[in-house]
Structure formats: C-alpha cells, structure tokens
Amino acid sequence: CGHICMASGVLKGLECIAPLVRSVEETLEPIPTAVQGTIPSWIRGNLLRNGPGKFEFGNTHYNHWFDGMALLHQFKIQEGEVTYRSRFLQSDSYRKNSEKDRIMVSEFGTLALPDPCQNFFQRFLSRFEMISNVSFVKYKGDYYVSTETNLMHKVDPETLASIEKVDWSKFVAVNGATAHPHCDPDGTVYNMGNSYGSKGALYNIVRVPPEKKDSTDSLQGATVLCSIMPANKSHPSYYHSFAMSENYVVFIEQPIKMDLLKIVTCKLRGKGLSEGIYWDPKQDTVFHLVDKKTGQASSVRYHTKAISTFHQINAFEEDGFLMLDMCCSEDGQAINNYLIQNLRKSGDALDQVYNEMTRVFPRRFVLPLGVTSDTQSNQNLNTRPDSLATCLKTGQDKVLCQHEDLHGDDLLDYGGLEFPQINYGQNNTRPYRYFYGCGFRHLVGDSLLKMDLKDKSLKVWQQQGFYPSEPVFVPSPDAVDEDQGVILSVVLTPSQDKGTFLLVLDAQTFEELGRANVPVNIPYGFHGTFNPTA
C-alpha cells in the first residue's frame, strides 16, 4: 500500500486495511498490557467496546461488515495499569452458526439458505433493523447489548458474560430499539423502535423509567411516549439514532427508505436484506419534535433538503430555539458501501471505493420553537447573533431549515468527522463548547479530532498507519472545565501484527499521556462506553 496523496479531495494510495476486518479468537481471561508513558491513576473502570469479530463459519461467509458476530471487548483500567479481555456475545445467531459451522441465520447483507416457512413480516423486519454488533447500552444501571429480533442480552461488565436475554416486545409493543438511547439526569432513558401492523410501520419513542424494583427488573415500566406515522407507511425511513434536548425528543425522518415488501420477500427472491434499502434524494429530511412531558408531537414539521445522518452530536434549547447538531452527509448510500469485499480491497480499487463515498460533516440546524399561525412567513426566524443557519415558515405548520457548518475549511483535510462524542454527563441537552470525533481519510477513522465551537478550531491526533476508534471522553474527578479529563481510543495498526493499543489523550491539550499495548489482534469496532468502578 503506497503513500497517500491528495488532489482536490481525491485520495490515492490508501493503505490496505483488510487485517481490520479479519476474524479473531476471543481472549476469555484478562491479559496484561505494556504501558508506555503514563495512564492517570484516577481513571478507574472498564472501557467496553463492541464490534464485529467473526466473519465466517465453515465455508460460508458474511457479505456486510455489520453482519459479523458481535465481539465484546473490555479494557480494565486501574492504578495506571490496563488488562484486556474479549468474548463473543452468545447470541442465538452465534450459537446456531457455531453448532452447524455455517451461517444459518440471515443478517443485514447476507442471505442464509432459503427457508420460505419463516417468511413473516415481524421476524424479518426486526432482524433487519437490529444491527447487532453496534454498542453497549445502559438501562437502570445495567449494561445490555442489542442483538437480533427484539432481544437484548444483559452483560456483566466485569466478565463480559451474557447474564440473561431480555425481550423488548414483552414490555412494550416495539420491534427492538436503537443502539443509541438518551438519558436524562434522573436516569430516565429514551429510545426509539418501530412497530408493524397490517397497515405498515410506526416510529415509536419509548421511555424507560429509572426506578429498579428489584435485581431482576429490566425494562419494567417501559411505555411508548409517542408514535409517529411515516410519510409512507410501507416505505418507512431507516434510522440509527435520534436527538434529545431538555424538553424534546427529535426524530429525524431521512430519505433512506426501507421497502417493506422487498425486505419481506428477499429470501424468496434470493437477495440480502440490504437490497430493500434505498436513498431517495428527491424527498426532504424532516425533523419531528415530541414533548417529553406530554408525549405530544408538534404539529410543526421542520424540513431540510435530503441529508442522511447516523449520529447526532447534541441538541439544546436556548432563547426560544432548539439547536440540533449532527453529523450529516449529502448522500444516503453509505450503508451499502460497507461490504466486507470493499473493506478488503487494496490499490486503485480501494481508492475508488473511498473517493466515491460522500464525506460526513458536523452541522447545526436552528429550529424555532414558538411557531404559530401568526408567525410571519418567508422571513428568517433565526435571530441568534453569529448564527448563519436559517429557518423560514413556508406554510401552515411547515418550517424550512438551512444548516450552518460546525467546522472550518481545515476539516476537509481530515476527511470530515464521524463518531461524535461530548462530555455527555455534563453537557448533553445543554449548551456546550467541545465535541470529539474521528477524521475519515480512509474507510475507517484515521485521526482523532477535537472541535472547539467557540472559534471552530480543531485539535488533531494523527499518526501514519494508525486507525483510532471512536473517542470516549472520561471527565476527571475534580473537573471544572467541560474538557477536563481524558480521551480513550483503541488504535489499530493493519501493517503490524498485534500492534493494537489503548490510547489515552489529555482532552484539553490533545497530547498523548500514555498507551497500553495489547498483544492480540482486534478487528475494527464501532462504539464504546466507559463504565466507572469505585
């Protein structure tokens, strides 16, 4: 793999990253790591990560990156030392596939051998939406990993063992939920999931109360706060997450559409589930606001041109406006680019895959909250000083929004930004100054970025041939400033065998404090969470 050169945004000579999408063995017992530099002794807890770790069984293999079997990782940090362990999630897919040593269960982009008897709506659509190897989520103080259908596995953060299976549909009428719930300061958790009836799909916002009645309590007390009807019930939008401010849940209905009929018949037609997903750039992206106290959806719909989003950065209310910050792309084809065969390419073929993809950039939409029949039409309602975003009432209950960029031109040199993170505990749903993310001068992140919204300036950690995962912010115990703490990221090196390390950066200066070298190969993963221990 050659040296990268960049002309007019086109990259050539990308390094082959095939080793980052190879199957690995699990590391069931904790192993020590070699620490270089210093890992602050105040960091006590587990960095938990999840991502695909097995891409074939016998001579059958998965086609899509999201299909690989979920491998759970734990980096235990205490007294400046780090141990590592990993374990495959004992999902039904993993067990069935292992038993027969071949792929028995259809995943997102892969077709198992046809079984027409099992061809009914609910099962298919729930399988389709639950991309299982994404994230650890927390309800009522317990950690869960989402898997196929409506199931989540409760996981012990100390051993990574699956403790029990929890079925969403036993508590509330939804087919599973996203891997990106939001949490209020009192511990109430909000999430979203679809439900399907004879007339098609509904988007549901689900509320899970913080109270835990006893140790067996999981999703008890979960309720549907609000159901939103899709613009087209047989072609609902695909969504990976949603946004939340202090008083509102914001659902983003984007023109990545799911053709339910195609999905339900994909086995009969011999196609993978992802064939049923398409991008329709002629449709607007629509923001739906739901009041968290009343469960009422606002009659005002906020429209913008077709954009796609996987991850929101933050949302907050100020001076009668709701600021919605998210990572956006002008195109919704990305989900189909992450075929394993693309990730394993090299040379010109790899460069071509990258250069044909649309970059993702952080943007802010400003949504006016007090729009009534008396609000003047066709004039910019955004009165916030120094804000370039616009919002115009264009009809009864319709506001047209144009974003402002949350970055300067220098972000173009780093390939845009994805996997955004903030100081969530202190600043989620509130005004904030900093966010962190990965720069993408490759199909996977190849730099760590810190954005200062005060002047849109960037701090960067980047080293040639090193591919860092999503940055996780951990505040220091005595923090006064929003960015006082560390950034944790797992860095992979496709050109070095067993070259993985846990990187610790000072979040304020973005300088490296230390790294813990892990003597195993780890595949590229998506999301992580820090579980502090006493």
Cα radius of gyration rounded to whole Å, the chain: 22
Specify the DSSP element, H or E, that contains 256: strand 256-258
| DSSP conformation class of 504 | E
Q: 433: which 2 tokens?
A: 């100054």
Copy the structure tokens of residue 384.
């916030």
Q: What is residue 83's three-state secondary structure?
A: strand
Encoding tokens for residue 84?
């590592």
What letters, b where the CB count within 10 A reaches 16 and e where it falls short, cover 316-340? bbeeebbbbbbbbbebbbbbebbbb
Q: Does the annotation list 403 as a binding residue?
A: no
Query: Which CA distances in Å does 93 have to 20, 178, 272?
Result: 22, 19, 16
Residue 284 CA to residue 32 CA, distance in Å, equals 51
- The DSSP code for 211 is -
Is 311 annotated as belonging to a binding site? yes
Residue 93: its H or E element: helix 92-100
- Asked if 225 contacts 177 with a C-beta cutoff of 8 angstroms, the reply is no
Instruction: Select from 148, 168, 162 the least CA-distant residue to 67.
Output: 148
- Helix (H/G/I), strand (E/B), else coil: 519: coil
Beta bridge partners of 293: none
In this structure, are residues 418 and 311 in contact, taking their beta carbons and an 8 Å threshold? yes
Q: Which residues pair with 472 in a beta bridge?
A: 488
Beta strand extents in 89-179 (DSSP E only): 136-139, 142-146, 151-155, 162-167
**Are the C-beta atoms of 145 and 139 separated by less than 8 Å?**
no
| Distance, CA of 87 to CA of 77 (rounded, Å) | 18
Eight-state DSSP code of residue 416: B
Helix, strand, or coil (residue 353):
helix
Contact (Cβ atoms closer than 8 angstroms) between residue 270 and residue 108:
no
Q: Is 153 a known ligand-binding residue?
A: no
Q: What gap in Å lies between CA 296 and CA 292, rounded to an integer?
A: 8
Tokens of 58: 């016998």
Our measurement of the distance from residue 1's CA atom to the centroid of its chain's CA atoms, rounded to an integer in Å, reads 29
Is residue 111 classed exposed, middle or buried when 0-12, 13-18 and 19+ CB atoms within 10 A define those classes? middle
Q: Which parts of 338-456 fold into alpha helices (H)?
A: 340-343, 347-355, 424-427
Yes or no: say if 164 and 170 are a contact pair by the CB < 8 Å rule.
Answer: no
Q: How many other CB atoms sit within 10 Å of the CB of residue 20? A: 22
Say which DSSP state 237 is in.
Answer: B
Q: Is the dihedral of CA 98, 103, 105, 109 positive or negative?
A: positive
Is 180 known to sit in a ligand binding site? yes
Indicate the annotated binding residues for Fe cation. 180, 240, 311, 527
Indicate the annotated binding residues. 180, 240, 311, 527
